[in-house]
Amino acid sequence: MMDFLMLDNGAACAVNAIPCVEMAEFRAALIDGVTKQNCRVSAFCALDINSEKRLLAVLLDSALKKLKLLSSKVGTAYPALTCDAPAFHWFEREIWEEHKILPEGHRWLKPIRFSAPDAEIGVTDYFTLQGEAAHEVAVGPVHAGVIEPGHFRFQCMGEDVHFLEIELGYQCRGVEKLLSGGPDVKTLHLIETAAGDSSIAAALNYCAIAETMNHVEVPPRAVALRTLALELERIANHIGDLGALAGDVAFLPTSSFCGRIRGDFLNMTAKLCGNRFGRNFVIPGGVRFDLDDAGIAELQKKVLQGEKELFHALGLMFDAPSVLDRLENTGVVTAETAREIGMVGVAARASGVALDVRRDLNCDDFIPETVRGGDVLSRALVRKKELVHSLDVVKRLLAELPSGEVQTPCPATLTASTLGIHLVEAWRGELCHLVLTDENGKIRYVKIVDPSFHNWFGLAMALRGQQISDFPICNKSFNLSYCGHDL
Partner 1 sequence: MFEMLKARFFQGYRTGKFPPAAPNLPDHFCGRPQVEAHADIEAARALCPTHAWCEKAGAPAIDTGKCIFCGKCAACGVTFTREYRMAAMTREKLFADASPYTPEEQLDRGIRKMCGHSLKIRQVSAGGCAACELDFNVLNTLAWDMGRFGIQAVASPRHADAILVTGPVSRNMLLALKKTYEAMPKPCWVIASGACAVSGGIYAESPDVAGPVDKILPVDLYVPGCPPHPAVLLEALLRFIGRM
Cα diameter, the chain: 71
Nearer Cβ to partner 1, position 271 or 396? 271
CB 289 within 8 A of CB 282: no
Contact stretch for partner 1 (CB under 8 A) within 74-82, 266-274, 393-401, 425-433: 266-274
Rounded Cα–Cα distance for residues 8 and 123 (Å): 42
Question: Left if phi > 0, otherwise alpha if psi is -120 to 50, otherwise beta: which for 316?
Answer: alpha
Q: Which of residues 335-374 bind partner 1 (CB under 8 A)?
A: none
What residues pair up with 47 in beta bridges, in sequence order?
54
Binding partner 1 (rule: CB under 8 A), the pick from 112, 460, 481, 485 is: 481
For the chain, how big is the Rg over CA atoms in Å?
22
CB 42 within 8 A of CB 58: yes
Residue 198's identity, in one-letter code, is S
Three-class secondary structure of residue 478 per DSSP:
helix
CB 353 within 8 A of CB 370: yes
The DSSP H or E segment spanning 393 is helix 376-399
Half-sphere exposure of 272 (CA within 13 A, CB side): 28
Shortest Cβ distance from residue 116 to partner 1 (Å)? 10
Does position 181 interact with partner 1 (CB under 8 A)? The reply is no
Rounded Cα–Cα distance for residues 421 and 417 (Å): 14
Q: What is the DSSP string of 348-363?
A: HHHTT----HIIIII-
Nearer Cβ to partner 1, position 115 or 418? 115
Does position 296 interact with partner 1 (CB under 8 A)? The reply is no
Does position 411 interact with partner 1 (CB under 8 A)? The reply is no
Binding partner 1 (rule: CB under 8 A), the pick from 60, 87, 194, 376 is: 194
Does position 483 interact with partner 1 (CB under 8 A)? The reply is yes
Does position 263 interact with partner 1 (CB under 8 A)? The reply is yes
Binding partner 1 (rule: CB under 8 A), the pick from 148, 241, 356, 375 is: 148
Contact stretch for partner 1 (CB under 8 A) within 1-9, 40-48, 224-232, 262-270: 262-270
Does position 451 interact with partner 1 (CB under 8 A)? The reply is no
CA quadruple 208, 210, 213, 219: dihedral sign: negative
Q: Which of residues 220-249 bind partner 1 (CB under 8 A)?
A: 240
Binding partner 1 (rule: CB under 8 A), the pick from 28, 37, 105, 289 is: 289
Nearer Cβ to partner 1, position 80 or 249? 249
Shortest Cβ distance from residue 390 to partner 1 (Å)? 19
The DSSP H or E segment spanning 57 is strand 52-61
Rounded Cα–Cα distance for residues 216 and 235 (Å): 29
Nearer Cβ to partner 1, position 47 or 258? 258
Does position 121 interact with partner 1 (CB under 8 A)? The reply is yes
Binding partner 1 (rule: CB under 8 A), the pick from 85, 102, 195, 459 is: 195
Three-class secondary structure of residue 239 per DSSP:
helix
Nearer Cβ to partner 1, position 319 or 439? 319
Rounded Cα–Cα distance for residues 87 and 183 (Å): 32
Nearer Cβ to partner 1, position 55 or 414? 414
Rounded Cα–Cα distance for residues 406 and 408 (Å): 7
For the window 300-339, what string marks contact with partner 1 as x by the rule CB under 8 A?
---------x--xx--x-----------------------
Contact stretch for partner 1 (CB under 8 A) within 74-82, 222-230, 256-264, 428-436: 256-264
For the window 96-115, what string marks contact with partner 1 as x by the rule CB under 8 A?
-----------------xxx
State the Cα torsion 188-190-195-199 to the nearest 10°: 20
Does position 438 interact with partner 1 (CB under 8 A)? The reply is no
CB 391 within 8 A of CB 307: yes
Q: How many degrees, rounded to 5, is the angle at CA 125 between CA 122 and CA 131? A: 120
Binding partner 1 (rule: CB under 8 A), the pick from 62, 193, 408, 417 is: 193
**What's CA 197's distance to the chain center, in Å?**
11
Does position 142 interact with partner 1 (CB under 8 A)? The reply is yes
Number of residues in contact with partner 1, rule: CB under 8 A? 62
**Interface residue list for partner 1 (CB under 8 A):** 113-115, 117, 121, 141-142, 144-149, 169-174, 177-178, 185-186, 189-190, 193-197, 199, 240, 253, 256-257, 259-260, 262-264, 266-267, 270-277, 279-280, 289, 295, 309, 312-313, 316, 481-483, 486
